Structure 1
Amino acid sequence: MKKSLKKTLFAGVAALSFVAVAGVSSTNASAKSYAKVTSNKALTNDATTRNVAVNGTSALYTKAGTLKGAKTVATKTTLAGLKNSKQGQKNFRAYRVATTNRGSVYYKVVSFDKTYRGWIYGGKSVTAFAGGIASFNTTTAPAAAAKTSSSASSASINTQGQTTALTDAQKNATYKITKAGTANDGTATTYTYPAWTEYKKGRTVTDATPYANDTFKVTDQTTRTREGDLWVKIADTNATNGQKINGWIKYSALTAQATTPTTTPVADNAVRVNFVDASTGKSVVKLDVTNKNNYATALSMLNATDNTLGGHAASLSNYWTSQSSALNGYAYNGLTDAQLSDNAAAVANAAFGKEVNIYVSPATNVQAFESNNVLLQTYNGGLANSGANETTRPDVLKADNAYIADAGQAAKPYKDAVNAFVAGLRAPKGTTVTSDQVEAGLKAQGLDDFYAVSTTTDSTKAATFKSDNNPFTDAQKVQVWHYVFDSAATTGKAGDGSGTATVTYKVTKHDATVSNVSSLWSDLF
C-alpha cells in the first residue's frame, strides 16, 4: 500500500515537473517577437527636399531594424563618423518610407556615392525626418563679402581660396575656365548642380575642351555645406556655341579676363553726348543724336532736339531720360557756374562726328518710402518646418516687439533695425527703387540674414518671439528661426508718398535646448 502510494506520488511529481518545464520552454519560445510592416511606399515629394544627414543614433539595416531577418549594413559608430564628414559624397537621399505595427517609421536611404544603402529608424511620424536622420541643406548662402568698388580691374580679381560671397566687381567680371577639359573634380567642366549636392546629378558635358576659349558671366553663387567651397553658376557669352556648358563650377576654377572697352566711332552725321557726373568726373551714359533732318550745323540739330541741353533748365529733358534710365536722378541744378559755362561752350562748339561732354549733378536723394508703406513679411506659419520656406504677410516680428541677431552678434530690437533701414533707404526723388537697392539697405542694418528665437515649442501653437536680449535659462527649449533675404518688390517712385516696398525671406527653423545661458542666437541654430 505504502509502496503503491510512493509510486503514485512520484508519478504525480514527475508529471508536474514535466508540465512546469514544458511551460517554461513554451514561454521562452514565444518571448522573441518581431514587428510587421503595415505600409511601405515610395516618397514622391520634391527630391531636393529629401536630402538628409545621418547622425549615428541609429544603425542602417537591410530592412526595418525590428523586422525578422534584418541585418546591419552600417553600425551606429560607422554612421556617427559620417555625421560631420567634409565630403558631399556622404550626403544621403531618402526615397522610401515604411511604418510598422508598433508605430515606428523607417526610411530607405542611399548615400550620394552609393556606398551605403538601407533602412534607418526615422522616428514616429512620416511628416518629418527624425531618429537616425535629419533634413540637411547641402548648400548654403555664402557669407557676405567685404564692400569693394564695382569698377575694380578684372586683372586684380583673385578667384583662389575664396569662401565668401562675390563682390560687385567679381559679379560683373568676365571669366574663362582655367583648365577646361574632362577632369571630374569641379574644375574642368560644369555641373547641373554643385557636385555631390544632389543625388545622381553630374556634369553638363563630360569634356569642356571645345569651350576653352569661351567667356562666361556669373549668374548665381552658393557654398557647398560640407566642403565649404564657393561654387558659381556661369553662362556662356557665346550663344552660337550652344548653351550646354551653362552650369555650376568651382569659383577657383575660373580666371577673370581683362576687359577691353570697345568704342564705336561717332557717325559723320551724328553728335555723341557724353553725360558726366560732376561729383565724380565719371561718364554716366553716352547717347548719339543723328542728323535725320539735314540740319546745316551740329548746333542747330542739338537746339532742335533739346534747347535746354547743358543747363538752360533745372532738369534734364525727357528726350534724354526716356532713352536711358541711367540719367534718372540727375539734373543741372547743383552745377557750379564754371560747369554750366563749360556745358554751354560744349554745345556751341559741337561738330558732326565728334563727342561733347555735358556735366550733370546727382539730384538730392530723399527717403524712398514712408514707414507705413514698407512691409517685411516675416510670418511663416507655426513651428513645424522642413527646409527653407518662403515668408508671407504679416510682419510677426514687429507685432511681437521681437529682438533679432546677426550671426555671431548680440541681439538687438527688430523695430530699431527696420526703422533705420527705412530711414536709410534713399534715392533721387521720382526715381524707381530697385530690388538691389532694397537688398543693400537691408544688409546695412543686418536685415538680410538674421536669427529670431521663439520661446514657444508646442507645434500646435503660434510662435512667440523673444522680445529682449536677456540670457536664456538653463536647459530652456527654444526654436531658432533663420531668415535669409529672398526677394523685394517695389511700386511707385522714390519720395512720392505712395510707393511701397515688400520684402520676403526664406526661413529655416531649428529646435534647440540651451546648454549655455549666454549663447549667441546663431550658435543655437
Structure 2
Amino acid sequence: MQASLKKSLYLGLAALSFVAAGAAATTTASAKSYATVKTNTTLTTAATDRNVNLTGTNAIYTKAGTVKGAKIVAPTTTAKKLNKSTNGSANFRAYRVATTNRGSVYYKVVSFDGSYRGWVYGGKSTSKFAGGVASYDTTKTATAPSSSAVYTLKSSAVSTTSNTAFYAQPAWAEYKIGRAKVNGVTLTSTSAYKDTQFTFSDAVTNRAGDTFYKIATAPGATDLVGQWVAASAVTSPSDFNASTQVKINITTTDGTSVASFNYTPTTATGEGTAVDLSSDSALSTKADDAATAAGYKLKTSDNVNQAALKAATIGGTVTLYATKSDQVSMNTTVYIAQSGSVTPVKATTTSDASVTKPSDAENVIVTPTTAFTPFTGAEGATYTAADALAYLNGNSTLKTLYSPKFQDTNASGTTTWYEYVYTPQSASAGTYDASESVQAVYTATKTATTAPTGTTTTGTATGALDN
C-alpha cells in the first residue's frame, strides 16, 4: 500500500514537473513571438493620394498591432462603424508606414477631425493600401450649374460673425483644410459678399452628400475665385418665374455683361402683363447696387433705360445700360497700436531722422519718400477689409513704416539706437472715394538699428499717407 502510494506520488510529481516545464516553455515562446518594427518612415506621396477609409477588418493601435506594448485605440467594432459613417469626420489621412520582421505593413492614420490617431494593419505591401485601410475619394463628381448661370448668397448664409458658406476645399475633402481664406486669413464673415454674383465651373459631393460648387467668377470678389461654396448657401436668380417676374440684364453698350437678376414687381402679375417700372425705386436701387458692386455706374433715369423700363412686361426681359465707373485712387491714414495701448492712436508724420528721447518717436512716422502705388478702384464700388489689408501688405512703401531713430538703454545697460518699425495689423472696409483714405491700424515694434546719417530724411513726400 505504502509502496503503491509512493509510486503514485512520484508519478504525480513527475507529471506536475512536466506540465510546469511545458508552461515555462510556452511563456518563453510567447515572449519571443512579438513582432519587431524594421522600418518606420514618413509617406511622401501627394496628400490627396493618402486619403483612406477604414475597412473595419482591423483595429487601430498605439503602435503596430503585433509589437509588444501595442494598445487598442479603436476596436474593430468602431472601425466598422467609421467605415459606414456618412460623416466626413470619418475620413482618414495616412502619413507614416512601418514594416515588421514578419513582413506585415502598418499605416499610421488620423481621422479628419483628429478624434482617432494610431496604427492599423495595411497588408503585406507598401505599394498599396490593404488590410484595415483602403484608398478613398473624399468627394464624388456632381453636376455643376451652367457656366452662365448666376448665383448669389441666400440671406440665411449672409453673416457678419460667421462663415458657413465658403471653403478652401469642399468640407471634409482634405485633412486640415477648411474655411476659405482671403489674403491668407480665414474668412469669418460673409456679409461683404451679400450682393456678389457667382458663376461656377465644377461641382462635387462629399461623404455626407453635401454639394459644393467651385467659384469661376465673382465680380468685385476675385479673392474667392477658385474656392468653393456650399450649394445650400446659394440661390440662382436665374430660376425665373415667368408669371411674376421680369428679368433685368445690365450690360454695356459694347455688349459686356455686368450683372443680371430677376425682379418681382408688386403691381402686376400674369405672363405678358405690361408693367411700368420707370419709377420703381426698389428696382432702381437694386439695379444700381448690382452695377456698383461690379465696378460700373447705372442711371435708370437715362432716356434709354427709362424707355426700356416703361415697356416692361411680366415674363419679359429688360436690358439696362451701364458705364464703367471712374477709377479713383486713395492714400492711407495710419493709426498706431503701441504695446499695452488699448486704443490705436492716429500717427503724425515728420521728416526728422532722429529725436532726442524715446517718447518723441512714439506714434510718429518718418514720411515715406519712395514712389508708391495708390489704392485704386471703381468710384463708388466697395472694398473689403481684407482687400485693404492685402494692398498694404503688398505695397513696397506701406508694408513697413518707421519712426525717427532714438537712443535708449538696452538690457545690458548699453546705450543703443532704436526705432519703431510699423507693420499693418488691420484695415477697415470702405468705398472707393478720391476724397477718402484707407483706414489702417499698424503694430509698433521697438527694434535696434544703426545711427542716423543725417538730421532729416532726403527726398520728397509722395503722398502715400494722409496723416
TM-score, scaled relative to structure 2: 0.46
